[in-house]
Structure 1
């Protein structure tokens, strides 16, 4: 067998202008200038076509095919009797058919190019269109190819592609899409951010498109979603269309209501730092930390910045003077919380076991009054009230000395301000005779 293959190789190599590149890509060129026309085989050949022939590595699956016309077939050609003619879009090549009385009709570059234009469905699944006599390390026929029926799509397979997609997160985070680097891309390509082979790279959007897409993503972010390509995995819920900027295949992966509820119940770590959990795409005037909020990494805790905390601390003196500490009310307190003694939001209160009451003088100077002092003040106020009452009673007693009790039904004369008035009593009454 090996001897036969060597003989076949020598016969093919004897063709005067036939070369053998190391790929399966067919390159055929029709010469139009007369000076460029030169034979590719023996002097008896009258063809005026310059052709580059590709060889194919031999495998156990193609051994039988090699026994007859393999070089011609690997270039998508057909061996026909030498007296036959090739069609206008094919080139005639001698010396590469097993039968010396046959010639090989090989398609021109224009024909092969027209086939390649129909290979898109195969390329989209990272496949290669090739002869079905060549070994395929993946799966045959998951997509179609242009050209003859024996030119088929050899793709990695859906299972392999799904495993690649799991490693596309770095590309998705920068709004990119993983694709073959041979395909067109509006922006630059970024390597090592996509799963799969090296030629599968991240196609980034242009700067203008990226800005426009991000502006259109706010509806998705409001619902705790993230915009990504619909062929990628949505781990927290389902895809929803119409909430993301960019192409229609860019959709919102948003969690269901119960998932969000579960996330919200685990926000204590964020709240105790006076923060709120929000989407990473939203602006934060302080600092963000993804470790303080439950859920995906894009759900971050936005906490006030150092300057804000310092401003709050300026009003903490009443609490600190009483031996307390200003902190979030969700934080454990060994004593109890006291209001209006700390700066900042209402959730920031003074934690202390025992605290003095602070009052502010008209000059703005804080003075501390203990509980005993407050009791003394109250006792003083009570004493003053008693003294006033006694004084009034004493005054009334002196006034009553001018009164005389008169029995019911008797008449008496009451001195008015201007005249005397006769009054008949219906009850006992004290009469002022002054």
Structure 2
């Protein structure tokens, strides 16, 4: 076993010292570099996208927000910055890259993303006043249907929805099992509203709203979407009203907008100030309150507040000070926004005029070269050590044999 120790030691050392990828900056922003072009050397073009902490593509960057650093030291001013965006007017676009990306794709698809929408319907018999000729439960359901039946604002990546119903007893679920995951199937939600029985008695409206805010924010973040919660009811809650202020704080922290439909009796909405409560929720989260909206108003609320998230590709061009030496260099892109500054992962490229380069992140390049060169060298050195050690032992044993023979 001892004779193989140098080989084992060398391999262990190599495996324990793998190069690490560059860590991104302090801001909760991600930079994704898609392609690099050196055909106009010394001018270099870079395609990239920027994503914020909520998973949404960052819009509106200018030359002042961008800086390129080569070989970790040289900083270069941006010559130009262009952007192409899929948005409301053009929700899907096919954009040509400055050069083929690592998958050898010359184009990339940009898709605007529909919002993540949590629907909170206080579906309780308490909405209807005894002896009243109006069915506010039916009116609330109809308003939600008109809201959901609007065409998607982002057909290629449509809105996702889920349902939350305040409970009147501990054995009930706020979220029906079939909607524990957000879905693009709005008709399934409408069918559930039409067929499931209402609650009886007082409900925990604001606790359900708080749960909807948390879950909708998470769904929006995972898909890079805007987050919207629609609350439909009379605003009455004697069970969980103490959560009202925390809802506003949580919604604003998570960038969730609340739109509220006040549907119920005059007593509940006006005298008991349920409508006022709902209007406060909406106003404090940059949303809107509608009291007993008709079909047109409910539909317009979707179009105006179920905001899509644009998808943007940036192309930055700068002039390098590197010589056309054909050697490998690295660059990073730095982006500065109000949230802070973030640096992309290092990317390796060759300073060479002519063909567009294939994008190669520095980590995989180092890892490949490291093992391609270092391991054979280490094995060769280890083999030499083993042979030398064996030779020394052989000479030593031969000397001992001669001495014994002479005796």
Identify the TM-score tier after normalising by the shorter chain.
under 0.3
Flag the structure with more relative contact order, 1 or 2, with Cα contacts below 8 A and sequence separation at least 6: 2
Identify, as 1 or 2, the structure richer in helix: 2
TM-score with structure 2 length normalisation? Answer: 0.20
> Is the radius of gyration larger for structure 1 or structure 2?
1
